[in-house]
Structure formats: C-alpha cells, structure tokens
Amino acid sequence: METEILNTLKSRRGEHVSGEDLSRMLGVSRTAVWKDIQRLKTEGYQILSRPHSGYQLVGIPDRLTAQELSWNLHVKRIGKRLHAYGITDSTMEIAHRLAGGGEPEGSVVAAEGQSKGRGRLGRSWVSPKGKGIYLSVILRPSLQLSQVSLVTLLAAVALAQSVQAETGLTPEIKWPNDLMIRGRKAGGILTELNAELNQVHYLVVGIGINVNTPRSALPAHATSLAEEMDGPCDRLALARSLLVHLDRLYDKFLKGDTGEMLEAWRGFAGFLGKRIRVAAQGRVVDGQAVDVDATGALLVRTDTGIVEAVSAGEVLVVR
C-alpha cells in the first residue's frame, strides 16, 4: 500500500491529498494510511501533513531505488526490469549471474555503492555509496563480434546526451569508453560479453558516473559532475535520463539505424582531427584521429598517409 500512496502523492505533486481521499481510493482506514505515511517518512520521503488539507510530497530521498527509477519511466526495453542494491561487490558480477540464468534483455542492475567496482583492463572504479551512478544493463542483440564496439559507442552517446541534458555541461567522449569534462574523466563504460565462435549470447554494459563524488575521493585524473557544476547534481534525474537515452538509441540500433548515433558520437568526440597516440594490442599507432567506421573502430591516418582501423586500445591526445 505504501507504493500506491507514494504514486498518488507523486502524481499530485504540489498538492495536498487528504487522508480521507487516500483511504477511500485504497479501501483502508485513515489510520492505516497514517501508518504508511510514517513509514515512508522513515525511508527518507519528505511529506508534509496539514490538518484539514492532508499530505503533500515535498522531497524524495537521494537513493537509486527500483521504485524511484521506474516511476513514470517510458522505455521499451532498458529499465523495464530493475534490480537495485545498497552496497554490492559489482553490478557487473550480478548482471552476469542474472544473464546466465536467463534474465531478459533490458534488465538493469543498479547499486548505491560498490566494493569491487571495475573498469576496463582490470582497473578498479571508485564507487562511494550515494555519490555516483553505478549500473549494468543486460542486452541480447543479434550481432556479430565485430559489431560489439558499436554498443560501447551507443552507451557513450547516451551517457553524454543525458549528462548534457541534465546538467548543462558540455561533455566529450574519448574513444572508446570515457566521458570527459574539461579534460578530466567523469564517467566510463565497460562492455563485456558471453559468446562463442561468432555468436554473441549476451552483453553486459556497465556504466559508472562520478556524480556527487568529492574530489578528495577521486583519482588525480578524474572529476565529478558536482565539481564541474559547483553544486550537487540530481542523481535520480540523471539515472532516469540515461535509461531513456539508452533505450531510444538501442531501439534504433536493433532496427539497423546507427546513423543518428554515429553522428551524435562525432559531435561529442572532441579529439577528432587531433594528433593522437593509440596503445593498441601490444603496439603503438601514431597519427591523426579521423573518424569511426561502421563497426565502431577508430580510424587513424598514420604518418605514412594510410588510414588504419583500430578496434581496441587506449587513446592519448598528443596535440
């Protein structure tokens, strides 16, 4: 019944809803309504009670719960099923376990904090409780191994679009998976897959964002949205926006439409046209960043004039 009361107060945000109306709608006593209101308050919901007027929702706790993430969330796939945790080891590990057990495509695993958050190449991801967004998405697209990089680019675009929309900041994407703001890393993407030969069984796309993480808790090369905004960022609004952007771009991707996503990626990729160095598969490629190809590989024009496609590596902007 708490959920029904909360949804009613949300749908009439800014208004007072009488205990009598809630009692009648839910078919319970006013005392039962009062008790549920008190429980919601202990969970962090700010609810004003005014005699002869009723209850008014004025504040929602800063927690990424399944109930809050799913509220009025208009998506086709991504976020239709949500698994939210307080502190866990890694959302990636949970998502892999769920995916291996048949969890449907689009399911999302989110956590308030991670004790073993991880990034690419075995690196750790700082995941303090209640400060960032840490989530993993299970996808089951029909695609070849050579196309997996496109999913990472898609997630990067969705992340950049949601950050721009919710904060007004101007993020950049550094190929293949980093979200940068003013030259510092604010978010990252980790794409892992379960596959054999050329058949992909499922993907798990992990996304980490430093939202309200204080600078003291971050590595030297990193930043957070709050640091760049000079004030706190609404984690819940950003997380919901991210799911919506992911869902829309992924739906187009499944229909074979990658044009909008790639064009948006180019708009966020501030390093294009600059001289870069890519540490790729045990070797170094120097040249000018030109573009990405239809598979998501980075195109680099080397000093010999040849344009080389690099499918994996770490990019350093030289100038």
CATH code of the domain covering residue 10: 1.10.10.10
Q: Do 149 and 284 belong to one domain?
A: no
Q: Do 35 and 182 belong to one domain?
A: no
Model-level pTM?
A: 0.90
Look at residue 81 in the predicted model and tell me its pLDDT.
97
Q: Do 51 and 74 belong to one domain?
A: no
Alpha-carbon span 160 to 242, nearest angstrom:
9
**C-alpha to C-alpha distances, 38 to 11, 25, 43, 88, 229, nearest whole angstrom:** 19, 19, 9, 28, 35
Domain boundary among 59, 77, 98: 59
236 closest CA partner among 111, 106, 133: 133
Alpha-carbon span 75 to 66, nearest angstrom:
14
- Residue 108's domain comprises 66-268
Look at residue 235 in the predicted model and tell me its pLDDT.
96
Q: Do 137 and 224 belong to one domain?
A: yes
Q: Do 53 and 82 belong to one domain?
A: no
Q: Do 83 and 7 belong to one domain?
A: no
Q: Do 304 and 229 belong to one domain?
A: no
Q: Do 109 and 11 belong to one domain?
A: no
Look at residue 22 in the predicted model and tell me its pLDDT.
86
- Tens of each residue's pLDDT in the chain, 319 residues: 788 888 888 888 888 998 888 888 888 888 888 899 899 998 888 999 988 889 999 998 899 999 999 998 999 999 999 999 999 989 999 999 999 999 999 999 999 998 877 666 556 667 788 999 999 999 999 988 888 899 999 999 999 999 999 999 999 999 888 999 999 999 999 999 998 877 889 999 999 999 999 988 898 889 999 999 999 999 999 999 999 999 999 999 999 999 999 999 999 999 999 998 888 777 888 899 999 998 898 999 998 889 998 888 888 887 6
Q: How many domains does the chain have?
A: 3
**Does the N-terminal peptide bond of residue 176 adopt cis geometry, omega within 30 degrees of 0?**
yes
